[in-house]
């Protein structure tokens, strides 16, 4: 997994969404406790939000810009720096609104101090939440989960690879020997305990070796189209991200068809995101089974562990074609 500060990553979409939810839940609860009717609640929450939302959004913007500096600090230094940034930002917005007379009741030191105290309480609570979240998803826990998830992929891959070699032993012993050498190279990588993100080029190399094994078994029935001219080779992705999808494409898409079919692999970047699209044939009589769904669930969970809400996986089936589309942030070492 990516090495990161124990501070919440202020450049992560999931982190920012959680902050928005926490703060707005606080605002709604405060308005509810101070209201005697639903109409009064609506009036109060509107008034509070008119001041609080600019404070919240500007604070998130400043923390986003300064995150690289914050991440270099020790944990408690970072906490203090975040508190100071939020208090200064919110205090500035409060003073500006009071100066412009946007809210007449903002004048007075006691009002400003009460507002900043409320900001401090919410900020501390939010940081405490992320501290608990970080402990729940500590590197040790997350690594153990990743190890378990990755281990589920390996037996399936081993089984299919051995079958590919067995089909060649009698008819083409020389090719079978070459295939076994390729398998040895593959499993030297697969059995390593490295669960960090790997360069996309490394994953592509693994996929090419796997497809070479399957090509020996399926011959002309298996056709591959690589559309990767715009691929960023140094982009970091979870290991064994694309290979299980290709394996499923072969097993569920190509093998059931007498004439075989075409697997298309397209990789490109767009708006600082890496897009991976895999398309394979899917006959109406051969629905993707639970094994395929388990593989997709496995990959989704690993994407979440690495990238939170910044990554996504969607699968669609139409016109006898099955497509998986993965989007993840373009990160490099």
Where are the chain's structural domains? 13-136, 139-329
End-to-end CA separation in angstroms for the chain: 12
Extract the tokens encoding 181: 């050498």
| Overall average pLDDT of the 101-113 stretch | 62
> At residue 153, does pLDDT exceed 80?
no
> At residue 84, does pLDDT exceed 50?
yes
Q: Please give the Cα distance from 59 to 47 (Å, whole number).
A: 19
Extract the tokens encoding 85: 């940034």
Give the max Cα distance, the chain: 91
Least confident of 29-43, 84-98, 141-155, 175-189: 141-155
18-21, long-range: CB within 8 Å, 24+ apart, which pairs? 18/129, 18/130, 19/56, 19/60, 19/126, 20/56, 20/60
CA nearest 298: which of 244, 235, 246, 237?
A: 244
Confidence label for 192 from pLDDT (cuts 50, 70 and 90): low
Q: Report pLDDT for 140.
A: 44
Angle, helix 290-307 to helix 139-169, in steps of 10 degrees: 140
Q: Please give the Cα distance from 230 to 70 (Å, whole number).
A: 33
| C-alpha dihedral sign at 270, 276, 281, 287 | negative
| Overall average pLDDT of the 54-73 stretch | 92
C-alpha distances in Å from residue 288, one per residue of 12, 28, 284, 312: 33, 45, 10, 20
Q: Please give the Cα distance from 271 to 330 (Å, whole number).
A: 9
> At residue 141, does pLDDT exceed 50?
no
Look at 222 and 180; give whichever has higher pLDDT. Answer: 222
| Overall average pLDDT of the 131-148 stretch | 59
| Overall average pLDDT of the 60-70 stretch | 92
**pTM of the predicted protein model:** 0.67
Look at 17 and 298; give whichever has higher pLDDT. Answer: 17
Residues 6+ apart with CB under 8 A from 322: 249, 252, 253, 279, 280, 281, 282, 288, 315, 316
Q: Please give the Cα distance from 38 to 60 (Å, whole number).
A: 30
Question: Helix, strand, coil shares of the chain as percentages rounded to 5?
Answer: 65, 15, 20
Report helix, strand or coil for 216.
helix
Q: Report pLDDT for 4.
A: 43
Extract the tokens encoding 60: 């998130």
> At residue 130, does pLDDT exceed 90?
no
Q: Report pLDDT for 218.
A: 81
Bridge-partner residues for 279, per DSSP? Answer: 264, 323
Of the CA atoms within 13 Å of residue 241, those in its CB half-sphere come to: 37
Residue 2 phi, psi dihedral angles, 5° rounding: -70, 135
Query: How many CB atoms are located within 10 Å of the residue 73 CB?
Result: 15
Cβ atoms of residues 294 and 280 within 8 Å: no
CATH number belonging to domain 139-329 = 3.30.565.10
> At residue 48, does pLDDT exceed 90?
no
Q: For strands 261-270 and 222-227, give the pairing.
A: parallel
Confidence label for 322 from pLDDT (cuts 50, 70 and 90): very high
CA nearest 62: which of 44, 86, 39?
A: 86
> At residue 150, does pLDDT exceed 70?
no
| Overall average pLDDT of the 126-150 stretch | 65
Cβ atoms of residues 227 and 267 within 8 Å: yes
Q: Report pLDDT for 182.
A: 74
| C-alpha dihedral sign at 114, 117, 121, 126 | positive
C-alpha distances in Å from residue 298, one per residue of 146, 278, 281, 305: 9, 17, 22, 11
| Overall average pLDDT of the 75-79 stretch | 90
Least confident of 2-6, 13-17, 231-235: 2-6
Q: Report pLDDT for 144.
A: 47
Look at 218 and 137; give whichever has higher pLDDT. Answer: 218
CA nearest 163: which of 181, 184, 185, 180?
A: 180
Report pLDDT digits (tens) over 268-313. 999 889 999 999 998 765 554 545 677 788 788 778 877 888 899 9
Least confident of 15-24, 180-189, 276-285: 180-189
Confidence label for 256 from pLDDT (cuts 50, 70 and 90): confident
Confidence label for 157 from pLDDT (cuts 50, 70 and 90): low
């Amino acid at each position: 997994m990516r090495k990161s500060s124990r501070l919440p990553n202020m450049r992560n979409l999931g982190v920012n969404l959680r902050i928005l939810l926490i703060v707005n839940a606080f605002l709604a609860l405060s308005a509810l406790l101070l209201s005697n009717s639903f109409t009064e609640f609506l009036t109060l929450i509107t008034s509070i939000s008119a001041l609080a939302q600019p404070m919240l959004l500007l604070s998130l913007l400043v923390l986003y810009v300064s995150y690289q500096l914050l991440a270099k600090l020790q944990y408690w230094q970072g906490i203090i720096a975040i508190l100071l940034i939020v208090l200064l930002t919110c205090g500035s917005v409060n003073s500006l609104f009071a100066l412009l007379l946007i809210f007449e009741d903002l004048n007075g030191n006691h009002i400003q101090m009460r507002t900043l105290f409320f900001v401090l309480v919410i900020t501390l609570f939010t940081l405490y939440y992320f501290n608990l979240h970080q402990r729940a998803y500590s590197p040790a826990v997350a690594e153990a989960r990743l190890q378990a998830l990755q281990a589920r992929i390996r037996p399936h891959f081993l089984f299919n690879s051995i079958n590919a070699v067995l089909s060649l032993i009698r008819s083409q012993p020389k090719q079978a020997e070459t295939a076994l050498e390729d398998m040895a190279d593959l499993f030297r990588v697969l059995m390593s305990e490295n669960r960090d993100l790997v360069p996309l080029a490394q994953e592509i190399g693994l996929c090419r070796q796997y497809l070479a094994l399957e090509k020996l078994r399926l011959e002309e029935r298996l056709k591959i189209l690589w559309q990767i001219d715009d691929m960023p080779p140094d982009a970091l992705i979870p290991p064994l991200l694309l290979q299980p999808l290709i394996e499923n494409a072969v097993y569920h898409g190509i093998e059931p068809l007498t004439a075989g079919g075409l697997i298309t692999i397209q990789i490109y970047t767009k708006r600082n995101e890496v897009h991976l699209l895999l398309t394979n044939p899917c006959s109406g009589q051969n629905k993707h089974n639970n094994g395929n769904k388990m593989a997709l669930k496995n990959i989704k969970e690993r994407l979440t562990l690495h990238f939170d809400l910044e990554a996504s996986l969607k699968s669609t089936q139409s016109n006898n074609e099955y497509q998986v589309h993965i989007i993840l942030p373009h990160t490099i070492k």
